[in-house]
Amino acid sequence: MNLLSGGVVLLSVWGAAQLISLSWLCCLLTGLGLCVAWRGSWRFIRVALCTFRRDLMCLYVIMRVRIPMFRYLRNRSTIPALFAQTVTKYPDKAALIYEATGEVWTFRELQQRCHAVAHWARAQGWLEGDVVALYMKSQPQVVALWLGLAMVGVEAALINHNLRQQSLLHCVGMSRARAMVFGTEMRGAVSEVRGSLQPDMLLFISGEHDDKDELCSLDGMLQRSPKHPPDYTVKKGFSDRLFYIYTSGTTGMPKAAIVVHSSKVSLAKFSASCFWDDCVKHDCTVILYIGEICRYLLAQPVRSSEAHHRVRVAIGNGLRPTVWEEFVRRFRIRQIGEFYGATECNCSLINIDGKVGACGFNSRILPSFYPIRLVRMTEENGELLRDPQGLCVPCQPGEPGMLVGRINHTDPLRRFDGYADQESTRKKIAPNVFKMGDSAYVSGDILVMDEYGYIVFKDRSGDTFRWRGENVSTTEVEGVVSGLLGHADVAVYGVSVPGVEGKAGMAAVAHTGGQFDPEVFLTAVQKSLPSYARPVFLRLMPSVDTTGTFKIQKTRLQREGFKPGESGDKMYFLNSRAGRYEAVTDELYNDVMEGRVRL
């Protein structure tokens, strides 16, 4: 039915409705007519009818978030102030449960420990805006430290406990921290870099240790510290810095993403074999996951606790459609809240109606209400494409594109606080995206939207890929591997392996001759890189492709993958069970591709 004939039918039905006094039908038909006139398509009517309920639910959720956030912004509320209100409401309710030791901290106990940290920080002479690096494994003490520091305006830099040597020094140096607090389990890693830290940096150790270490014991200081609220009023507000979380973003070495008081933090500890037992034990109703966690749970043998839990919602990201349906069916989860987001991004998405495979959606009725967009880009370098007016070109439904979000610094949900490094912040902002004069956050991720507005994650762009639940910066790994091999040219990239989530790291090395000892290389890599960043595959080749501006070309290498024989280059596979690199043969390649050898 074309647009003209459709209009005639609408007018005819409208006239009949008038004759029999069906005013509600007249209103409905008038609305449909306006929609057709506005969009010029009957398809839009179908899409609008199918998505109206979903969009209305999303509007309700957004308003429930926006109204309190604007109130907090107006009142200059902070996380410590909101935490104090929670303590007043639930003083004796469990705030933190540490499964490793069985410790349970109530909100009152956590507040007292935070007060002790705040007094300790003031005693050190630290002022608002000063930074203290926290280098510890996940434990309740970490929460008490960053929250206690925030009570007096001191900012915590949360260092990934997997980082070592140059990566560790880079993150600590970027934060400009005046001191570092580390757990006894990180003592060896700190000793390796201690000589390269700033001479005036104070070091505090938490946990049992030998007095001969000549380190300041944090635990003793906190025990002697007062437990009452500090006599200090923080001058910060809702939009000021709370702490730094390190993220590799989509390019370069790890960057310190600024987290303001309008954000939040959570810690997690995971055991696949005990997961459902823990859910039953603690009467959990909501769980958080990353894609790999769901796959790990499905790989476990069936146990009785699977049928006795009260979990109704699972929230997370990276869940594949095939794993999604099996996960819901086996564990009887009523709703999956798959989402897309990053620590620093302003274009987060969430699936609120259980659409399998989608990480969220954007309204097709009022797309500007949530100002995000998928825009066209070049496959080679991820550069945004522009139309003749200089604006970004929006993608059509079904077309992959770069996700961007309009920046509005007056809106807590639309602002982009960036990184501690201003150059890294600048690289993530694109001008003239939606209209001339505006600016938008560039996610660095490729997504696809269908005609109903559902958005599916496709791939990561730039110098980062995801492996074992961690973002791996290829720039960081390239620097380490190159240094270990006498500054040889190295290209690091992710390769897909059937049946495996994420991408396995592969390093192509310019090796012009001489002996290459895989055992020596593996030993050096294990000392220098966390487990998730170590190359799973190696490729030794005469030279690595570069551009005219001497940038590493990875497109061909990624396309060729790790299949032996095609190039004549020698390839190795990291057999984690055997603890060695093994030469990739045709037989081993087939075993990996068919799942007989697991990564």
- Cβ contact 417:344 at 8 Å: yes
Residue 253: per-residue pLDDT: 56
Asked if pLDDT for residue 549 goes beyond 50, the answer is no
Q: Give CA–CA dist 490/108, Å, rounded.
A: 53
| Orientation angle between helical segments 291-299 and 321-331, nearest 10 degrees | 50
Q: Over the stretch 446-502, which tens digit does the pLDDT of each residue have? A: 899 999 999 998 776 766 688 888 878 777 788 788 878 877 788 899 998 998 888
Q: Please report, for residues 16, 33, 209, 238, 518, the alpha-carbon distance to residue 26 in angstroms, rounded to integers and kept in the order given.
A: 9, 10, 79, 48, 77
User: Which class for 283: exposed (0-12), middle (13-18), buried (19 or more C-beta within 10 A)?
Assistant: exposed
Q: What is the dihedral of CA 594, 328, 346, 157, to 10 degrees?
A: -80
Residue 550: per-residue pLDDT: 42
Q: Is 579 helix (H, G, I), strand (E, B) or coil?
A: coil
Three-state secondary structure along 282-296? CCCCEEEEEHHHHHH
Q: Which pair of structure tokens corresponds to residue 437?
A: 């004069």
pTM of the model: 0.72
Q: Which residue has the higher pLDDT, 214 or 385?
A: 385
- Cβ contact 428:441 at 8 Å: yes
> Phi and psi for 351 in degrees, rounded to 5?
-90, 115
Q: Is 444 helix (H, G, I), strand (E, B) or coil?
A: strand
Residue among 537, 553, 542 at smallest CA distance from 491: 553
> Same structural domain for residues 86 and 219?
yes
Residue among 473, 440, 468, 443 at smallest CA distance from 458: 443
Residue 252: per-residue pLDDT: 46
Question: CA-based angle 383:389:394, to the nearest 5?
Answer: 55
Q: Give CA–CA dist 317/337, Å, rounded.
A: 8
Of all residues in the chain, the percent with pLDDT exceeding 70 is 85
Q: Say which residues have a Cβ less than 8 Å from residue 374's Cβ, sequence separation at least 6.
A: 394, 395, 399, 400, 401, 402, 403, 404, 447, 448, 449, 455
Of 8-17, 136-145, 403-412, 509-518, minimum mean pLDDT range: 8-17
Q: Report if residue 468 sits inside a domain.
A: yes
> Same structural domain for residues 33 and 130?
no
CB-based burial, 479-517: b 16+ in 10 Å, e otherwise: bbbbebbeebbbbbbbbebeebbbbbbbbbbbbeeeeee
> Same structural domain for residues 225 and 98?
yes
CA atoms within 13 A of residue 237's CA, in its CB half-sphere: 10
Q: List the helix and strand counts (H, then E) for the chain.
A: 17, 26
> Same structural domain for residues 99 and 220?
yes
> Same structural domain for residues 83 and 36?
no
Q: Give CA–CA dist 222/400, Å, rounded.
A: 53
260, 295, 321 - which closes a domain: 260
Asked if pLDDT for residue 21 goes beyond 90, the answer is no
529 lies in which domain range? 464-593
Q: Over the stretch 197-241, which tens digit does the pLDDT of each residue have? A: 999 999 999 988 776 667 899 999 999 999 999 998 888 888 778
- Here the CATH number for the domain that contains residue 476 is 3.30.300.30
- Cβ contact 159:117 at 8 Å: no
> Same structural domain for residues 30 and 83?
no
- Here the CATH number for the domain that contains residue 151 is 3.40.50.12780
> Same structural domain for residues 30 and 95?
no
> Same structural domain for residues 101 and 245?
yes
Q: Report if residue 586 sits inside a domain.
A: yes
Q: Give CA–CA dist 382/102, Å, rounded.
A: 48
Q: Which residue has the tokens 């980082």?
A: 163
Q: Report if residue 520 sits inside a domain.
A: yes
Q: Over the stretch 166-177, which tens digit does the pLDDT of each residue have? A: 889 998 999 999
Asked if pLDDT for residue 398 goes beyond 70, the answer is yes
Q: Give CA–CA dist 41/364, Å, rounded.
A: 13
Residue 10: per-residue pLDDT: 44
Q: Give CA–CA dist 478/99, Å, rounded.
A: 37
User: Which class for 548: exposed (0-12), middle (13-18), buried (19 or more C-beta within 10 A)?
Assistant: exposed
Q: What is the dihedral of CA 113, 115, 118, 124, to 10 degrees?
A: -80
Q: Say which residues have a Cβ less than 8 Å from residue 470's Cβ, sequence separation at least 6.
A: 162, 530, 532, 533
CA atoms within 13 A of residue 246's CA, in its CB half-sphere: 26
Number of Cβ atoms within 10 Å of the Cβ of 391:
16
When pLDDT is averaged across residues 412-418 and rounded to a whole number, the result is 87
> Same structural domain for residues 9 and 102?
no
What is the Cα gyration radius of the chain? 27
Chain centroid, CA 47 distance in Å: 31
Asked if pLDDT for residue 248 goes beyond 60, the answer is no
Q: Report if residue 420 sits inside a domain.
A: no
Residue 480: per-residue pLDDT: 86
Residue 23: per-residue pLDDT: 55
pLDDT band at 546 (very low <50, low <70, confident <90, very high): low
pLDDT band at 48 (very low <50, low <70, confident <90, very high): confident
Number of Cβ atoms within 10 Å of the Cβ of 121:
25
Residue among 430, 433, 429 at smallest CA distance from 389: 433
Q: Which residue has the higher pLDDT, 566 or 468?
A: 468
Domain count, the chain: 3
Q: Report if residue 158 sits inside a domain.
A: yes
> Same structural domain for residues 32 and 86?
no
Q: Is the dihedral of CA 221, 224, 227, 233 positive or negative?
A: negative
Average pLDDT, rounded, for the chain: 85
Q: Report if residue 313 sits inside a domain.
A: no
Q: Report if residue 252 sits inside a domain.
A: yes
- Cβ contact 94:106 at 8 Å: yes
> Same structural domain for residues 16 and 127?
no
Q: Give CA–CA dist 222/114, Å, rounded.
A: 10
Residue 12: per-residue pLDDT: 47
> Same structural domain for residues 91 and 15?
no
Q: Report if residue 7 sits inside a domain.
A: yes
Of 103-107, 116-120, 288-292, 476-480, minimum mean pLDDT range: 288-292
